[in-house]
Amino acid sequence: MSWSANTNDFSDIWPLAVEVSGTGVWDRNVATGEIRYSASWFRMLGYEDGAQSNPIEVAYTRVHPEDLVYVQVAMQAHFDGETSDYEVEHRLLCKDGSYKWVLSRGRVIQRDRHGRALRMTGTTTDITNTGLHKAKRASKRVGATQQRRKYDRCEDSPTFPQIRSQTMPCFVRGTAILTPRGPVPVETLTEGDAVLTVRENGPSERRVVWVGQRSFGTVAAILPEELRPVLIRASAFGPGVPERDLRLSPDHAIFTANHLVEAKRLINGTTVLRDPSCRTVTYHHIELDAHDILLAENLPSESYLDCGGRTSFTDFTAHAAPILLRPDATKTIGTFGCAPLATPGSATLRKIRAFLQTQARRASDGSIGSRTP
């Protein structure tokens, strides 16, 4: 390759520039979900198989669970014309099982006459070892240390002050919780069992330190609204998220867009709704050594956060009979969670609700939900 003084044509060096910059190129058919990647994109993740094309379902598996919905929300905003470009920092799974921080940028380059996105192209750049990203992570570590000192906390991860209802964030009997041995029903977990958490650097094991259960209702009447489970339909957040219908207590928070969001805040009447005919329910509490994020039916969901209701549970390990109680008076309490809480009226909550509505609309139209490269 010879050097040229022509400043109007860089076509001869463009592939080399992409290669040496640690950047990969992707091009997606939005309608079909097929994405083609350059060979440099795969080399960035430790593969040597060359350029190839993958369906969107495979792309989902590469994105860190903590980042997936955040990426989807940003993508949908660009599809809907709310942003001129798509640009997000997130983590991708490498061949060796580690995660790399990447910067993904892209733009819709073709739309139909109704304005719907048809084709999008962009780049993905490894930023794991860049000075800017290291500085950001260092800043976060310093901020987390200061916050722990301020609130006299001793956990390894930063905590976030928040106001929560003094009720029970719990799973309904039968919910599948991911463990190192695979998904298991929540009611089979006992103290000392290992579960997988997904909030930080990929899946990691944590031990259950306490379990409990509590039953409400009789067959004679439908449960009051504040006790009725919230039903999140299968694939409400995208294909397989959750994998099956998921039922949670109304104040139980899921983890999405790097925030905790109480299930009751996401009710839209279609893909997230209160169980309309529930007369009795048994809620199960899974407490870890620190508040963290589990996978419940493949949807990131919080472990039990003690807000003053722990003594209301039967000690499930003692195999005592369920307690049948009337609804508690609604109270709130200041506490510390593993992530910030998306509060009513916040921009984060509005974006997540808008994303769910878009997913619901696409599902009713028979089209595939939002996809991410």
pLDDT of residue 173: 92
Between 273 and 161, residue with greater pLDDT? 273
Instruction: Provide mean pLDDT across the span 333-350.
Output: 80
Q: How confident is the model at residue 153 (pLDDT cuts 50, 70, 90)?
A: very low
Highest-confidence range of 16-25, 147-156, 166-175, 329-338, by mean pLDDT?
166-175
Q: Which helix (H) or strand (E) holds 8?
A: none
- Which residue's entry shows tokens 């987390």? 144
Q: CA-CA distance, 11 to 16, in Å (whole number)?
A: 10
**pLDDT, mean over the chain:** 76
pLDDT of residue 311: 52
Instruction: Provide mean pLDDT across the span 289-295.
Output: 90
Nearest C-alpha neighbor of 263 from the set 226, 218, 217: 226
- Which residue's entry shows tokens 């259950």? 208
Residues ≥6 apart with Cβ < 8 Å to 258: 66, 67, 70, 339, 340
Q: CA-CA distance, 231 to 172, in Å (whole number)?
A: 10
- The 10s digit of each residue's pLDDT in 241-251 is 999 999 999 88
Contact between 76 and 355 under an 8 Å Cβ cutoff? The reply is yes
User: What phi and psi values does residue 148 have, to the nearest 5 degrees?
Assistant: -65, -40
Beta carbons within 10 angstroms of residue 110's beta carbon: 12
pLDDT of residue 144: 35
Q: How confident is the model at residue 280 (pLDDT cuts 50, 70, 90)?
A: confident
- The 10s digit of each residue's pLDDT in 6-23 is 555 555 555 555 555 568
Q: How would you class 140 by CB atoms within 10 Å of its CB: exposed for 0-12, middle for 13-18, buried for 19 or more?
A: exposed
- Which residue's entry shows tokens 């089209």? 367
Lowest mean pLDDT of 75-84, 212-221, 320-329, name the range. 320-329
Dihedral angle over CA of 159, 164, 167, 170, nearest 10: -50
Beta carbons within 10 angstroms of residue 107's beta carbon: 13
Dihedral (CA of 312, 314, 315, 316) sign:
negative
Helices 347-365 and 68-79: angle between axes, nearest 10 degrees: 70
- The 10s digit of each residue's pLDDT in 99-132 is 999 989 999 999 999 888 999 999 998 888 764 4
Whether pLDDT at 323 is above 80: no
Lowest mean pLDDT of 73-82, 115-124, 159-168, 237-246, name the range. 159-168
As a whole-number percent, the residues of the chain with pLDDT over 70 amount to 70
Contact between 238 and 60 under an 8 Å Cβ cutoff? The reply is yes
pTM of the model: 0.55
